[in-house]
Every structure is written in C-alpha cells, then in structure tokens.
A = this chain, B = another copy of it.
Amino acid sequence: MARIVMKFGGTSVADLDRIRHVSALVAAEHAKGNEVAVVVSAMSGETNRLVGYVDALAADTNLGGDIDDEYDAIVASGEQVTSGLLSIALRRRGVKARSWQGWQIPLQTDGAHASARIKGIETLAFNQSLKDGVVGVVAGFQGISPQGRVSTLGRGGSDTSAVALAVALGADRCDIYTDVDGVYTTDPRIVPEARRLGRIAFEEMLELASQGAKVLQTRSVELAMNNNLPIRVLTSFAQDGEPNPGTLVCAEEETMEERVVSGVAYSRDEAQISLLRLDDEPGVVARVCGVMAEANISVDMIVQGTSRREDSANLVFTIGRRDLDKTLATLETNKKKIGFDGLLYNDKVSKVSVIGIGMRSHAGVAHTMFSALAEKNINIEVIATSEIKISVLIDSDMTELAVRALHSAFELGVS
C-alpha cells in the first residue's frame, strides 16, 4: 500500500468526458489498495472566463483600491466546481470520495492575494479521511488567508498545491498528469526529434522550468526538491493499456543517466535594457537593483561594463517583457538617483538555455554551445551562467534556429 497524490491540470478535466476518464485513472490507483488524494485545476477555459469578468470590471476606473482578495474569491470557484464533479464521477464508480476546498483542509497561506504562499497544511481531518478509504479530491490553486479569506497561489499554483499536500501527507509519490507525456529535451513543436526524458534531476527541472519550459511550475519543483519528494510527470490522455511511464523528477543520485546536457529551454518573454554612461563609482548596480526591487520588477541576466556597440553601455540587464513599460517609467523617474545618462531597450530578444547537471564535471559545454551558435551566425547579446546552466540572449527571430542547433550539437535527439 502506498500513499499517492495525483494532480490533474485544466486540459485533463476540460469537460465531463475528461472528468469521467480521470475518475477511471483515480479509481485504478485506489483499487490497488492505495490511499489517494487528488488535486484538480479548473476545467480549461474556466479560469480565463472568470479572470475576464474581473478584468472587465477592474478596467472601469482606477479608483477603489486593491481587488486581489475578490479576484481570489471569484477565480477559486473554478477548482471548486471540478473537485465536486470529480467526486461525483468517483462515487458513480463506487469509489468513496469527497471534495475539499482550500479552507476546508485548511491549506493556510499568507495574505498576499493572487500570489499567496503556502504557510502550512492541517492534515488531521484529511489524513483520517484517507485512512477511512475515502479519496480526497482537493481544489488546487487555493487556500485560506490569515484573515479567513480565500487566497490563490497564482497561475500554475495547482502543481504547488499538489506537491505541498504530498509533502504534508508524507506521500510516497506525486503524479502530475498533464497533456504531454513527460519532460522533453526541448519543445517538440520546434524540434520534432526531441526525446522524452525517463528521469531528470530536481535541479535540472528547476532550471528548465524557470528558463521557460511550461510543464511544471517552478515553485512546485523547488518544494519537491527541498523535501526530496519524487514527482512523476505523465499524460492523462493515454489510452487504456497504453504504456505511460512519463518522466520521473527525482534526486540527482537516482537519475542514473550519464549525460552532460539534459535539455534546451527557451523564453520569448524577454526584454533587454542598456543603461549608458553610468557614473563610474561603486554601488551603481546595487542602486539599479534596489530601484527595480522597489517597483517589484524582477531583474534576470545582468552584465556590467560590456558592450560591442558604439555607445558605451555600462550596464545591460534583462526583465520580463510584460514589465517593460513599468521599467522604463521607473528608470526615468530615478535617473538622477541611479546616475545614468542614456537608455536603450530591445524587446525583440529571446533567452535560450542549455541545462544539465553533468556540466559541473564536464568542461567544453560552453565551447560546444558558442560554436554551434556561431556556425549559424547567431549573435549573442548577453551571457549568463550557473553551475548547471548556460543562457544566452539572442535576437527573437533566431529562437527556433538556435534551439535546433543546440539540440543537435548536444545530440539530445532520438538516436
């Protein structure tokens, strides 16, 4: 007997037929004698419909203050509906089941509405219910704030709900069902030869997720890594009897595959800022970062003192493209405080990254990477590296070309 948390995303519960299919998958795990908790997202399209209502009302005027608490109350209803429907579908198969809303468990969060963080999960009642053989169907993405209001964890938060619940319940495994059959060496829409990975280390998955791969939410991987909880990513769309091994995200020592690079990730949602003729004094980077942090804008890649252009740029950094307007306004306002004299920006850039735990012990990855890009005449604007990752910022139009060149250079494809 094992204790298993199964999570199903929006496309897996998109309509009643999909919910019936999911109930069969859950019933099969339960029939093996396992204790099963299920975490569900809203039926696909529901969250967008509800967010659309909020946006339409919120756009009316700028008066009236913050509305994130009500956004949460509204949007959390999507998961509430799915949890009830799946419970009914399970009972129709003769499986004991009940729905749990975030406030019922309760799953406690902080008060940062719309992007709350989990503070704790009270498992006493939930645990007893599992032991009684009842499948617990949990509305993902939501919790209860210290003020007793409904809170949500931000987009993709259901992955985090599932992992956090699995950790709190001491589950043996957390299975994340989605619309792809695992984690790939890169996006198969760009590289048809992309290969499903049998296993991947937490650290690699974390870099893949934060560098643009959308299969798992970053925070959920972090949480699983910190608690050494294996996550299995697999599809809910497999036919009966079809093998569905998925990808196991686990500790490095359990990956058992010898490879230098595991995957190539990309993100088009980037913008590059160059600050020109900065004051030549210590602390100027700290001032820029301080100003940006105050405006709640995340700075990603940072390079000081380099430029291949005529204008002598002293600081180049990247931000999320959605933050571009806010960034330009913030920098303009703080021009004197920071001490710069000119500003260039480029919102036609992409970030492409190669990721692999093997990099730690293998030299030559950078050389292979830059050679492959040079061969295709792809200019590199900025470079950033970590122990297990090299990222480059390039012209957006070159994204697919770069991903294909790197995937091929590191021989990641199906052999």
On chain B, the residues within 8 Å of A69 by CB distance are 98
New A-B pairs, 7, CB < 8 Å, besides A63-B94, A77-B78: A20-B60, A50-B81, A54-B88, A57-B92, A60-B92, A63-B91, A70-B88
Within 8 A of B (CB), among A28-83: 50, 53-54, 56-58, 60-61, 63-65, 67, 69-71, 73-74, 76-78, 80-81, 83
Tell me how far the C-beta of A274 lies from the nearest C-beta in chain B, rounded to whole angstroms: 39
Question: In this assembly, does A401 line the interface, its C-beta being within 8 Å of a C-beta of chain B?
Answer: no
**Chain A residues touching B, range:** 35 or more
Q: A85's contact among B57, B90, B103, by CB below 8 Å, is which?
A: B57
| CB < 8 Å neighbour of A104 from B58, B67, B148 | B148
Contact digits for A87-126, partner B, Cβ 8 Å, 1 yes 0 no: 1111111110011010110000000000000000000000
A85:B81 contact, CB within 8 angstroms: no
Q: Contacts A80-B77, A148-B104 given: A70-B98 contact, CB under 8 Å?
A: yes
> Is A358's CB within 8 Å of the partner chain B?
no
**Is A85 in contact with B54, judged by CB distance below 8 angstroms?**
yes
A70-B87 contact in complex given A64-B94, A92-B63, C-beta closer than 8 Å: yes
1/0 per position for A1-40, CB-CB distance to B under 8 A? 0000000000000001001100000000000000000000
Q: Which residue of B lies closest to A90 (CB)?
A: B64
Query: Which residue from B56, B88, B94, B103 sits with its C-beta under 8 Å from A57?
Result: B88
- Which 10 interchain pairs have the tightest Cβ spacing? A64-B91, A74-B84, A77-B77, A73-B84, A70-B84, A64-B92, A70-B87, A57-B88, A60-B92, A77-B80
A101 contacts which chain B residues (CB < 8 A)? 73, 150
User: Could you say which residues of chain B place their CB within 8 Å of the CB of A73?
Assistant: 80, 83-84, 87, 99, 101
Residue positions of A touching B, CB distance < 8 A: 16, 19-20, 50, 53-54, 56-58, 60-61, 63-65, 67, 69-71, 73-74, 76-78, 80-81, 83-85, 87-95, 98-99, 101, 103-104, 148-150
Given contacts A73-B101, A77-B81, contact A92 B54 (CB under 8 A): no
A84, B72: Cα distance in complex, Å: 8
Closest to A46 in B: B77
A92-B16 in contact given A73-B101, A84-B73, A104-B148 (Cβ < 8 Å): no
In whole angstroms, what is the CA distance A54 to B83 when docked?
A: 12
Given A70-B88, A73-B83 in contact, is the A19-B57 Cβ separation under 8 Å?
Answer: yes
Q: In whole angstroms, how far apart are the Cα atoms of A57 and B57 in the complex?
A: 33
